[in-house]
Chains A and B, each alone.
Chain A
Amino acid sequence: MNDQRLELSSELMAGGVGLVAAAGYINNEGGQAIADVINRLLDRGAVALLIDLEGTRIINSIGVSILLEVLEKLMEKNGRLAFCNLTPTIARTFEIMGLAEYASIFDDRETAIEELTRLNRAD
């Protein structure tokens, strides 16, 4: 099960885009770890958050629930939440649970950063 251990990295990029890269199993602990990283990026001035899930094959419903809470918090602050590099099953899970209706989904990191930066500058 070692290959499922969640690895996280984060970066605050120019244009107010906070990037979180998550690889591994996202359950309640993993979801909370991502939420904690996002809160720190928001404290540092991020206004849009991109979560790159390349390397994540399984995210359970509790993990998605925590991301939904992050989304609600961002919506209250008029922030944006986006994802990229989703497997088809994770994308389907986000659709079923309503996350895809309110967050943006991109195929790859470069496209996502470009679009989020453009939107932040337009605000």
Chain B
Amino acid sequence: MKLTLNLPAVPEVELVAAKAVELVGRDLGLSSTCIESVTVATVEACLNAIEHGNQRGFAVRIETQAAGGERWLVIEVEDHGGGFDPEAVSAPSGNRKHGSAPNRGWGLKLIRDLMDDVDVQSRPGLTIVRMKRRIGGT
């Protein structure tokens, strides 16, 4: 199974990708909790693509793969913005004293925590966030 969406950078377009993930997840027989966590990670990756993709639209690829005796649901989100250094992205502080810490910039942290494997390749003009979730044995 492979599904590709080419989406414009417009408000709430991330919900189109979320719906696609939900439909694929249901078809694969995944639990609602698994589907929701993959959906949230996909939404966050789409939001990053919308924010950093120079308003040029972005692509979402959803597919299942088999590797190493495991089956995986793989989501890739690709944009053509300015790129960034994924190693330089750190999660904001958990300090909740008012105004003491920025509350934004949690997207990549959420993606990494909700998915089993995440790889980010980024350079000027091309960023690909590849997220994998284990869905069973082959």
Contact = CB atoms under 8 A, between A and B. Distances in A.
Interface of A: 1, 4, 25, 27, 57-58, 60-62, 64-66, 68-69, 71-73, 75-76, 87-90, 92-93, 96-98, 101-102
The main secondary structure of chain B at its interface with chain A is helix
Contact of A58 (B18, B32, B96, B113): B18
A111 B40 CA distance: 28
A68 B33 contact: no
Contacts of B113: 92, 96
Question: Which of B40, B47, B113 has most chain A Cβ within 10 Å?
Answer: B40
Q: Which 3 pairs of residues, A with B, have the shortest CB-CB distance? A: A98-B94, A65-B103, A72-B98
A17 B36 CA distance: 30
Interface residues of B, number: 28
Interface in B79-113: 94, 96-99, 103-104, 106-107, 109-110, 113
B47 A60 contact: yes
Contacts of B104: 61-62, 65
B113 to A, nearest CB: 5
A68 B96 contact: yes
A73 B44 CA distance: 26
7 contacts: A1-B15, A25-B15, A61-B106, A62-B47, A76-B98, A89-B40, A96-B106
A89 B33 contact: yes
A93 B110 contact: yes
A1 B33 contact: no
